[in-house]
Amino acid sequence: MVIGYTTGVFDLFHIGHLNMLKNAKSMCDKLIVGVTTDELVAYKNKKAVIPFEERLEIVRNIKFVDAVIPQESMNKFEAWEKLKFDIVFVGDDWYNSDKWNKYEEQFKEVGVKIIYFPYYKGTSSTLINETLLNLRENRQA
C-alpha cells in the first residue's frame, strides 16, 4: 500500500485545492492530508477566513481524502516520522528552495518520493481574499 501525504491551509476552498487532492490520490492508495491549524497559519502573517475546524471538516469530506490530521508544524520530516508515508506532494513553488532541497536529502535516505505539483495559476485563496477586501473597501467609500 502506497501512502501519500500533503498539507495545506485549504482556506476558501477552490478548484485548485480539489485538483491537487484528486491528482495526489491518483498516485497513492491512501491519501493523508494535513490541514494547517489557525495558529500555524499565523507563520505567514495571515489569518484564515474559515476557522480550522470547518476547514478540517471540508477536507475530511472530499472523496479523494482518506484521512485528515491537524498540521501543527511546518516540519514535513517530523510528519513522516509519525505517519511513515511513501510520497509527499507539494506545490512546485517550493521546488529548488533551500528548505525543500534539505527535505529531498532527508527523504531520499528513507525512500520517500517528493512529487512537485504545478502551482495552480487560476483561482487562489489570496486572490479571493483580495477581491473581497476590495469589494468591502469600495462599499465603504
User: What per-residue confidence (pLDDT) applies to 135?
Assistant: 67
| CATH code for the domain defined by 3-140 | 3.40.50.620
The model's pTM is 0.86
In a 13 Å sphere around the CA of 137, the CA atoms on its Cβ side amount to 6
Catalytic residues: 44, 46
Q: What does the pLDDT look like over 73-107, one tens digit per residue?
A: 999 999 999 999 999 999 888 899 999 999 999 99
As a whole number of angstroms, the distance between CA 96 and CA 129 comes to 28
As a whole number of angstroms, the distance between CA 127 and CA 123 comes to 7
Q: Identify the residue whose cell numbers are 527523504.
A: 107
- Average pLDDT of the segment spanning 40-63: 90
Q: Where are the domains of the chain?
A: 3-140
Answer whether residue 141 shows pLDDT above 60.
Answer: no
User: What per-residue confidence (pLDDT) applies to 140?
Assistant: 62
- Which spans in the chain are helix H? 15-25, 38-41, 52-60, 76-83, 98-110, 125-140
